[in-house]
Every structure is written in C-alpha cells, then in structure tokens.
Structure 1
Amino acid sequence: MGKQDAIQILSKSTNGTLELDQQALKSVLETSWDKPTAVISICGEKRKGKSFMINLLIHHLTENLEKKLLGKLFNQTLEPTFEWRGGQTRNTEGIWITSSPITLETKQGPVNLYVMDTQGMFDNKTSKQEADQIFTLATLMSSVLVFNLFRQIQSNDIEHLTYWTRIANWVGNEQSSSSLQNLVLLIRDFPHQSLGYGVEGGKKYISLLERDLSESSGSEEVSNNVKDLQKLYPNVGAFAMPAPGSKIMRGSAAVKPIKIKDIDKKFRHNACKLFKELTTDLSPLLLNQSPMTGSSLYDYVLKCSERILTKEMPHSKDLSEHVADQWLNDYIAGAVNDYRDKMHKVLEHFYDEFSDLQKVHEKEKTSRIHQFEKISKFGKSDALAEARVLIEEQLDKQFEKMSYHVRELSEARQREETYKKEITNLRQRVPPNSEDVALFNVRV
C-alpha cells in the first residue's frame, strides 16, 4: 500500500467558529460506504508527540513497519501522513483523517480502518469550548481513543477526560443508542523504568496511582472520575511508553522525514506492542448495537455535529450542569425501573401481611440509596443531595401504587379479625343456657 494522505474534516471558518467539512468527510468515507468501519484517534495536550505516534501507527499498518522498527532497513525514513515537527508551536489544527481506509482482517471479518489526528489541547489559542467540541466529536467517531499523556497521569488530565467523555456519551445517546468502546491512556516518556513498559507497566502504574490517591487529600474526586471512565468505556487500559530518543525529542522546526535509526530501540519495540494492542480484535463502531458502515458513520457525525458545532451549544459550565442533570435523571429512572421489576417479582407470590411488604420495600429502598451513595457521581453536591431525596420519594410513590391491592386485602383481613373478636366477646357476655343464646346466634 502506498503512502497515505490526510484530509482535514474540521477547521475554523471565516467567522472563527469550528466547522465540519461535510464534503471532505463524505469523500473519505465513500470508499467504506457499505463496509464495517472503525476509527483510531489520538487526543491530548499540544506538542507531546501525538502526530509522531499516529504516523508510526499508519506506517506499521501500511508498510510492514514492524520489520523496520525491529532493526531492519535502518536507513529507511518514515514519510509522515500527518504533518509533524518538533518545537513548541502547535502544528495540527482541527481534526484530520486518513484519506482512504486500511483494511484489517478481524474475527468479525474485514474492517475498514481510518486513523485520525486532533488539535492539541490546553494552549492559549484554543478556547475551552473549542477543546470541548474537538474532543467530543473525536470521541464519538472513535472505535479506539488514545489519550496521549506526558510522563504521568495527573488529576486535571482525568478530570478533563471524564468531562469530555460524558459530553460525548450524552450527545451520542441523544441522537441514537451509540456506545463508546475502547480507551487507551498512553503515558509517553514513562519515567518509572522499574515498573516496566507496555501494558504491564501501565497496569502497575495505575495500581500505584490508585494507592497514592487513596492516601492523599482530594483523592476521592479523582478516584470517582477514574471509575466514571471505567463505566463509560467497556475497555480502559494504560500503556507505558519510553522516550523516543534525543534526536526525535529535539525535533526540528521544519518538517523532515524521520530515520528509523534515530528512534530509540526500546521505543521501537514498545511501539510494535502498542500497535498490536490497538489493532488486535479491532471492532467497528457500533450504533444501536450494530456495526457502523461508512454511510451510517457519515450520517451519525452530521447529526452529532449539528448539536456540537453550533452557537446554541451551551458554554462548558452550562453544558456540564446539563450533562450532570441528564446523568442524574437517567440514574433515578434506572433505580426506579430496577425497584419496580424487583417488587413485581415479590408480589407475584406474596400472601403475607401488608406490614411484611413494607419491610421488603424499606429493604429495597435502602439498598438503592446505599448503591447511589457508593457509586461515582457526576454533578454538584447540592444536586446530588436533591437526587438522593428524589430517589426515596420516587420509590415510595411506586410502592404506594404497587401495594394498593395488598394494603386493601390486609385491611380487609384486619376488619374480619376485629369482627370475629367482637363476636367472641359478645358471646362470652351471654350467660350459659340463656334463652337469649339462640336468638343471639340467629342475629349474628
């Protein structure tokens, strides 16, 4: 396969707002119009080697790079698909994607793969809303999202990632039943050599991070954010990556081909491992539990971009609150449905007293309140407190509706018992052998 080209699908318009190039996107996806389609994308802070890494992935897939990286063809160069250069000036702007797919054979059959590069975050030229829009759109388009981190995972990295992921999840489900799939935390220039590199190094680092967080102040929020990511993504992993070598790190202001021999040996070996991790058992994007084709992905991106890339899109603070409200509403509805299903099963074979059913209700309600208190939650403390009260109220209302006939039957039984006791008392008050006994029994 020849050298891949990149096409920009998201850029700034003349009025300064981000704009999706629908024609460019369609021209890219037309090759995969009726074929299962997947996208691997990379996001993260500016000037931390995102484009360099994604270029290596493309060459790995298209030019048998593994042989080159493992020591052969040392004098060969890597022609970049996505523009790359060293220095501190931002290079990638908006979102770029490979112009044609790379067909991979998977367990599910052939999948057409596209690779996507995104504008670096957290610079003085990118507004908060632009970062929200870029990351949200990239997340929605990705079968595998690689979040590029430098040396370590910091609390603000996880905070931003969780926030953006929740927005993407909300926007996607607003259009249809979409699902996020795979998240890889790529830790670049990993300094903890004693932990090793690759997947195992990433696992050990995450374990140490969780331990450190449990012992530090303010760790609960970070821990909750990590749990949120694990719930939003079916697969979350970390990969520890060594530095690429001094020649690559120094880079150049000019765009020059990179020679294989300039890349550090450890980096070459681990790059091969990473690329296998990203592409082995790769699944196409899913929409309503069905694989997306190029056509359905195109329609889906257009619908989502209408919600994301508009002046009507709330600012980050408002959107965060909206997403939090949506999450709380969804959680409450889920808790009520779960309670209702459980109580229906109980009532199918319930013949005891109403007081016994009340005990079951209190037990089920307490269980769901405890569950709400334990899980990681998204929203302000006052909203969470209100949600807790609302869960109790909703469950009590459900109990009132569902237990009506049980309460009526129980009250009827109580009236019958009271009536029997009154009859017994009256009989005891009538003297034995009294002429009135027969008359009393007839009246009763």
Structure 2
Amino acid sequence: MIEGGSGDTYAVVLMDTQGTFDNASTYMQCTTIFALSTIVSSVQIYNLVDTIQEDSLQHLSLFVEYGRLALREAQQFGTPFQSLVFCIRDFKAPEDFPYGKEGGVQFLDQVLKTEPDQPEELKTVREQIHSCFEEIQCFLLPHPGHRVAERGSFRGHVKDLRPIFREEVRKMVVALLEPHILKPKIVNGKAVTCRKMIQFFKEYAATFDGGTLPEARSILNANARLLCIEACHEAKLTYCRGMDRSTSGPRMMPEKQLLRLHIKHGITALNIFDKCPKIGASEVRSKMLEKLQEDINAELEKYKRVNLEKRVTGCASAMTACGDSPLLGVGLGAAASGAVAATVMTMQAGLVSAGIVSIPIALGTLFAIWIYVYAKPYVEQCFEKGEKDDIELRAL
C-alpha cells in the first residue's frame, strides 16, 4: 500500500510472469501470459537480455492489432494501454549508451525509429507501439555478477549482487514507484478500484481461456462487457434509490401507484445505461440490457412484498388507512345524519333541553366534515413538503 502524491492510497501488485518466452513454455502459452499481463497492468515491464531483438517487438503484434481497433472504435478513452517499460538486462555496450533511464531512452529511440528502406511490416509495428501505449520507457542494467549467474552458488542474498547492479535497480524502482509518479490502473477511461479489478481479472481471463489466442475483437468485446457491467450497476442503484425514496412512507400504497413509480424510475435507469459508450459487438450490449431489465423487475417484486407488509388491520387502523378515500367522509356524514335524527326524535319526545344540546352537536359534526373537505389538500401539501425536506436533508 503506497500513498500517492495526490493523497490517494494505491494497492500496488507486483506480478511476476517468470518463464515467458523461454524454452519450457509453448509460444501460445507465452503470448497469452504476455498479452493478459499487459492488459491488466498499468505498467508492463518487458524483461529482455542484452538487447531488443526484432522478434521481441513482434510479440507485441497482438497489442498492435487490438490498439488499432480500440483507437478506431473507443477513441474517446485515449490510448488502450498505459506504460510499457523495456528492462534490458546484461547490457553490453555501456560506452555507447550509459546504464539507467537516460541511456535507455537513447537506446530505445534508436531501436524504434523508422527508416525509409524498412519493410512496411516493421515500420507499422513501431508506429503502432507508440500509438498504443501512453508512455514507453527503457532501463539498461549491467550484469548482476557471476555469483548470481551460477545457480549453485547464489542463495538470494543481496550482498552477492554487484554494487553497480544494485544501484541501477534501486534507481529503476524509484523511477517506477515513487508516490508522485504512481498512476492507478485505467480501464475505459476510468480509474479502477480493487473491488472492480476482481471483475476485470475474471472478464479478461475468460477471454483468454481457449486453445487459441483471442482475436483483437474479443478483447474489445470484453472491454464492452466491463463498460456495460458498470453502467448496469449504476442504473440499478439509481432505480433502487428512487424507489426507496418514493415508498418510504409508513402506509400501503395502491398497486397502480407502485407500478407508476416503477415505470418512472425504470426509465431513469435505462437512460443511464443508454449513455454507456457503444463499443464492441451490439450483442454484448443487448444481453446486458436484457439482464438489467430482469434485475429491475426482480427489485419490483421486492418492493411489492414490502408494500403488502404495510397493510393495516383493525377498525381504527382501517379508518386511518382510508383517510384519503371517500370512506372517511361517508362515515362522518353518517355520524352527522344520526345526530340530526336523534335531535328530531328528542324534540318530538318533549325533551327540549336534550334537543337543544343535540343541535349544536349535529351542527358541530357537519362543521367538522366541512373543515376536513376544505383543509385536506392543504394538510397533504404540508406533509408532502415536510417529507421532501426530510429526504433532502438525509441525502445531504
């Protein structure tokens, strides 16, 4: 864990792919490892001995092809890869190019320069390497010492390394890992978090899981899936937040109203997904859109169950739950009618004093009905405003 110059903390993973392009592995295995490690890395260190041979550049041909495709279809994301570092071990011409980064830059310029009489294939590879990587560096290192070269005598002790080799390695490490130099892994124009990196590993590994090297189009489709996965996550999160706000009340709402809210927030979610850049095969996007719609419909079923759990029972609770329906008005009207009828009966029976008392009661009941009908819209507006302010405060 290293704290960068910007204050962010980076999880730096050093991944060794020892054995690449050696005699113990097939060309297919080596190319797969090399390609996969380049795609998932922010910095790919290409470890070579003595010099940069032409076939070493040809190993980058997959990236050249993919880079050409990505630059055409996903140009809004910039260069497909970030940093390529040539590490030339056992460099034998320090009198022409000094050890370290400075000599490495001079040496690399000579190797990657294009000549008029060069074959077109070699010229194209060099041009595409420059266009595919955001940054290309080179470090020249001396031989580590004979005690290291002899496996029988080397036990991994730093003291057995030549002092000049230790110093040049130290300079290279500082140049690559200094806090203000560190950059996060960028995929599709966005910095990748550790959690998202797991998904990226799975997606890329599935792309390379076969008997042949994947085509550049397959890698681009993997990137398209990653984009769609992220867009689906954001869209679903927006839908759930909107539904949570709209259904946060304690009372059960009619199913038609719940469906209207589902459609409203569902459209918002689909608009978010639609803004996802359109790269790769259209089938990839269609499948991810179908999955998003299935996920949103599954969330609706959850909101339906929660809404049903808010159903109230009991006479008093039922009366409260029906407060926004005609039932309460009917109930009050019936009570007023009963009070008026009782007044008439008591007066006919000669109980004038009781009738005089009943008349104000009946009139008071009718007045209460009028107050309810007149004031109900204003009371509801006040409650809605209060809920809205409460939601905004919680959001802040």
Question: Which has more radius of gyration?
Answer: 2
TM-score (norm 1): 0.43
Relative to its length, the structure with more strand (as a share) is 1
- Which is bigger in relative contact order (C-alpha 8 A, separation at least 6)? 1
Relative to its length, the structure with more helix (as a share) is 2
